Amino acid sequence: MNKKKRKHHAHPILIIGAGRGGSALLEMFLDDRLVEVVAVADPDPAAPGLKLAMAHGIPVYADAVTALRACEHFPDCIVYNLTHDDTVADEVNRVFGRKNTISGLEAKLFWQMVTNMKRVKAELEKSQSQLLAIIRHVMDGIIMISATGEILGFNPAAEKIFGYTQQEILGKNVSLLMPEPYKSEHDSYLQRYILTGVAGEQGILGIPSREVEAVKKNGKHFPMELSVSEMPLKDERYFVGVFRDITERKLTEQKIEHLAHHDYLTGLPNRALLLDRLKQAISLAKRGDRKTAVLFLDLDSFKQVNDTLGHQTGDLLLQEAASRLKNVVRSSDTVARAGGDEFIFVLNDVGSHENASLAAKNIIAALSEPFALAGKTCRVGGSIGISIFPDDALDSGMLLIQADEAMYAAKRNGKNSYKFYRDISG
């Protein structure tokens, strides 16, 4: 049989009975530096404890008497008798005495304790393995930092999101992942929280989740949803952040927001956004004692283009017309598609009727150039009605009605022209 090198200053142990209990006991002692199993005995050559002992170079014996005699030169040897054989117990007591022997109910209790400890250890190891697997494979990024902001943990999802490897980021301050001004303020904020327990208005501690801006390794800023929890451990305080990159979500939200307030075909503000802009313009005009003009445009001959060249060409015409109309007005003004081939303009601080008239002429001129659409050329014009705040009306709804009426008057007057509401109201 093989003999392994003895541990220094380790207490010798002899195990008699290498069944389930003896094997569990041996497994526990193998990890203990203060004790050393010097021999294991069992008459069953298939006993699991014997196999484990041989794998670790521990002497094994087929009977207890031989094992006891082999260990007589260890006077301080402790014998764990896990058998129910009274003759074995008597021989153990004869060689080493009762003070060095653990047997009977005492051995059974010890075996149960060892078995329970082994089970608990296995369960803890399983839980730890499951937790590590979750951390490794979870889609959310996880960062663990110390009370000084030093990064202690960085899971694979965090590596993917930020572009840093664990080797690059561990030990660095977490402010490396923040843009200014949060980068410079982070350490003082964290220390203030540790001293006072108060998170502060701009903090994320104690909040289920918050949208913040972060910085990737390549310097690119991106929106991130973050929640941070404090994790006291012994006498130390740690913080764990769970986060996700919400760039795609923010882009989707922006698209939805845009579609809610803009025309899907031309990208111009829709009627809902127009009404909001018009109310704001009127409010500003009231405070500044200024004028706001509303121009209602209907394309002339658009129905003929739609009927002869098809709806696809008609859509292209509307898109090109919208592009021209945006370039006619100032950036402070608004042009919206009201529906069909109708467009509405809100001109802020128009000053006079002459300025509104000049804007209408510019719109008609922009539409007079021929449209080249998918290899086809067509022409349209425009009829425009104009109402003025506060000269014609004091509220947005009435101004739109008046501009619409003036537009129909312009159509009746021969199209490709404009009319003021005051000129048709009598």
Alpha helices in 31-103 (DSSP H): 48-55, 64-70, 86-96
Cβ-contact 101, 92 below 8 angstroms:
yes
Q: How far is CA 395 from CA 285, 286, 339, 362, in A?
A: 12, 11, 21, 26
Instruction: Identify the burial level of 28 via C-beta atoms within 10 angstroms of its C-beta, where 0-12 means exposed, 13-18 middle and 19 or more buried.
Output: middle
CA pair distance 313, 308, nearest whole angstrom: 9
Catalytic residue, from 333, 341, 392, 404: name it. Answer: 341
List, in sequence order, every residue forming a beta bridge with 347; answer none if it has no partner.
293
**341 is an active site residue:** yes
Cβ-contact 389, 282 below 8 angstroms:
yes
Closest to 166 in 3D by CA, of 134, 133, 144: 144
**Residue 241: helix, strand or coil by DSSP?**
strand
Mind telling me the catalytic residues?
Answer: 341
